[in-house]
Each structure stands twice: as C-alpha cells, then as structure tokens.
Amino acid sequence: MSSNHTNAGPPGKLRILVVDSGIDANGACPNYPQFGPSPDCPYPGWCLEIIDVILRSGNISHEFVVDRNETQQLDWGRLQANGSFSGVLGRVESGEVDMACLLIQKSVMRMEHFDYSVPISEVRPTFIIREAPLTFWSLILNCLRPYDTTVWIGIVVALIVQMFVWTLIGRTEMRVGMRPQRLHGEYFAWDVFEEMFNGGDHPFYFLSGKLARLVFAVFQKGLLPAMYTALLLTALLTPVDSQADAARLIKSGEYKLISDKSKWFAQDVQLSSEKIFVELREATKNNPIIDTISDAHSLALVDQGGYIFQTSNDESAFNDASVKCYTFIFSKDMPSRSAHLVFQKGSPWRNIINAEIMKNYIFFDQDRKFRVPKCERLQFAAPGSSDPLDFWSVSGIFVLASCGLIISAVSFIAEIICSII
C-alpha cells in the first residue's frame, strides 16, 4: 500500500485507528490488520477493505494506530459525566487519531460531537430471541395463552355469580308455583355449565331470569368462546417477529433486553423521539436494559431463554446467531440506519475521504449474505404462520381433558362406594 501523498489535502498523515471488531477488522487474522482475503484469513474485515480502497484511490499518506481488543466487549464510545466520550469515539474526539476503522451509525447523542462521512452502507437493527423449551407446564399453558390470569379469574367469578343468580331465581320461581319442583334445587347451578357447553334448554319465567340468561348467552356463551378461539389461533400461528412484539414482551417482564450501551440503538432508546424508541423507552422503564458483557455472553443468555439480544445485521453476533438452530432473528418494523466513517468536529479529512468514497461507491454498495441453517423441528420448535397445528400445539387441551376425566372417574368410584355403604 502506497504511503505517498499527492492530494492537495491537509499536511501530515491520516492517522487511522484500527481495533479488533470482528466484522470490520478481524483480529483473528495472522497478519492483522490484513486488507484482502487470503487462505489463512478469508474475511479480513469489511472496513479494512473499504479503507484499503480509499487509501489506494486517493494515494493518501497514512499511518495506522493498531489496537488489539484485550477486553471482552469493544467500547465504541460512551458519553461520560464530564461531557466527553470514552473508547474509540473518545480517541477520535480528542484528536489522538483522525478517524477509526469502524462503520458507525448516527445517534442523537453522537451528532452533537462528531462529523460523519457520506453513507457507505446501511444496517438494520435486529432482535435475537429463542423460543423457550417445551415443558409439561408450558404445554398446558398453551391452551390458556389468549387470556392472562386476570381474565381467567374474571371468567370463573362470572360463572360463580351466574350459578348463584340462576339458583336464586329458579328456586323463587318454584316457590311461587311458576316452575315444577326439582329433587335438588342446587341443580340450577349445573344448568349454567350445561347451557354453556351442551346448549341446554333452561327457560326462566321471571323477567329477571330471562335477562340473566340473555346476558349469559350473549357474553359468556357467545363472545368469550369466540374470542378465545380467535385469540388462541392467533397466538399459536403468529410468530413473534416485530419490534412491537419485543416491546410487549419486555414491558410484561417476560423478557429482558440486552444491548451494547456504547452503540447508537441503546442511546436512541434514551433520547430519540421516534415511535419505536419511545415504545422501548416505556417498556424498559421498569425493566432496564442489560449492558452486554460480550456477544458470546449475550448469545448464551438468549440460549437460556427470557432474554432478547439487540444487535445489527452488520455485527458478528448476527452472523453467529444466524447459524444457531431455534434462535429467531427478526427486524420487522425496525428502522434502518446508514453507516459512516466518523471524524472529529471540523476535521479537514472529511471532504477528502468523502470524495474517495463517492469515486468508489460501486465497490462499497454491496450486501453481505449470511448462511441460515436448516434445522429439524425438535423440542424448541414452534409452529409458524403457515404450519398446521400439531399435537404439541394443542396437547395442553388433552392434558386438561384427561385431568377432568380422572376427577370424574374418582368421583364415580366414591359415589358407588357411598351408595353401597
């Protein structure tokens, strides 16, 4: 690579910070930093390839400040209490280097402190989540998923109230001679269940009874079962795949969000007025974001279940997750962001680098593809939007039905024994 500088640019050399970031600069290469693929290093780093093209095209005199990331997680740059940045962005802000070999996204916080090159590529943030393993209890809860606990409690209370009301009105009608006597008046309570499930015919003669039966027929026998059917199918057939789904899971406390707070996404969750960031800010108010220790640690937490890892499709963590079976990556409704090289405010190098980027834009305007594995559906498999419901999806209903039959059998045996005695 040439080091002669013939451009009419600023004096001195362009100082470029190179840090081991995996996807942008691969520190695992034996000749790191390496600017082109080789048998020992087929992927030297996307940003290093870009820098190589820019320097060669502009014949720019330069020097590299090379760091190997000795910590588990690279500090891209966090705003400190004194108003300056730490990490990579801090070294650019202080003038220690002119630019860094990292593709960085703008955020509300960063734009006040740095200048950016023209966009080089585009990234889309993603959420990485793993379906919880199937257990005996989760199979039972599958059939209860459409309603939360408070709704089920409301349904039970409403049935008890109806049982009481039907018994009271029915017995009163018998006392005044409007209804034949029954052997056991308490059978009116069971009429509620017979009406709901078997379509029994239990007319009332009092207007109050007719109204009670009308309310029961419309709401408890009509709307609730219909809503349950619709919501159950929606819950079973619709996969979690959007930012709104993630915000809902985080807000409910079922999942915790993991994100690198030195990157733009976590910063915009704190400051941005965009709708999705406002929703996530509200969702994480009582369930704070967990600052990632390392990509490997974050993916390990995702494997355990109960965690959502936020990353981007240009990150090595995205590539690692894309080859793991039963790990779901989704970016629906997520905002795309342009990726830039970053400079100190007022840097004279910005226009020079921009000119070279525009000259070579065809090279930069390309997408990287990742291999997604084909996995067999085992204990982590969940039905997709086009899959038929299998036994495991509805097995909770069979389990509850079996419990009911067992209780009925035990009651039958007890009644036979009592009648003999």
Tell me the per-residue pLDDT of 317-376, one tens digit each, with 9 for 90 and over.
Answer: 777 776 666 566 666 667 788 889 999 999 999 999 999 999 888 777 654 544 444 555
Residue 233 predicted with pLDDT over 60: no
Give dist(CA 231, CA 3) in Å, integer.
66
> What is the rounded distance in angstroms from the CA atom of residue 114 to the CA atom of residue 349?
13
Of 147 and 271, the structure prediction assigns the larger pLDDT to 271
Residue ranges of alpha helices (H) inside 348-421 are: 349-359, 361-364, 391-420
Same domain, 34 and 71: yes
Assess whether 31 and 108 both reside in one domain: yes
Q: How many domains does the chain have?
A: 4
312 and 301 together in one domain: yes
Distance CA 348, CA 354 (A): 11
Would you say residue 380 lies in a domain? no
Q: How far is CA 9 from the centre of its chain?
A: 46
pLDDT score recorded for residue 372: 46
Give percent of the chain with pLDDT exceeding 90.
13
Q: Which residues contact 312 (CB under 8 A, 6 or more apart)?
A: 123, 124, 125, 126, 265, 318
What is the C-alpha to C-alpha distance for residues 390 and 394, in angstroms, rounded to an integer?
7
Is residue 351 assigned to a domain?
yes
Range of the domain at 204: 140-238
- Determine the Cα–Cα distance for residues 98 and 117; give it in Å rounded to an integer: 12
pLDDT surpasses 70 at 389:
no
My answer on whether 184 and 257 are in the same domain is: no
Kindly state whether residues 217 and 246 are assigned to the same domain: no
pLDDT digits 0-9 by tens, 161-220: 877 777 777 778 777 777 766 655 556 666 766 666 556 666 665 676 667 666 666 565
Q: Do residues 38 and 107 share a domain?
A: yes
Cβ neighbours of residue 188 closer than 8 Å, sequence gap 6 or more: 163, 166, 167, 169, 170, 171, 182
**Whether 271 and 303 share a structural domain:** yes
Tell me: do 208 and 271 sit in the same domain: no
**Residue 22, in any domain of the structure:** yes
Averaged pLDDT for residues 247-276:
85
* Residue 116 domain flag: yes
What contacts 100, CB < 8 A, 6 or more positions away?
16, 17, 18, 19, 88, 89, 91, 92, 341, 342
Which of 203, 238, 273 is the endpoint of a domain?
238
pLDDT at position 223 is 59
The answer to whether residue 62 sits within a structural domain is yes
- DSSP-based three-state secondary structure for 14: strand
Kindly state the percentage of the chain with pLDDT values over 70: 64
Quick check: pTM over 0.75?
no
Mean pLDDT of 150-165: 78
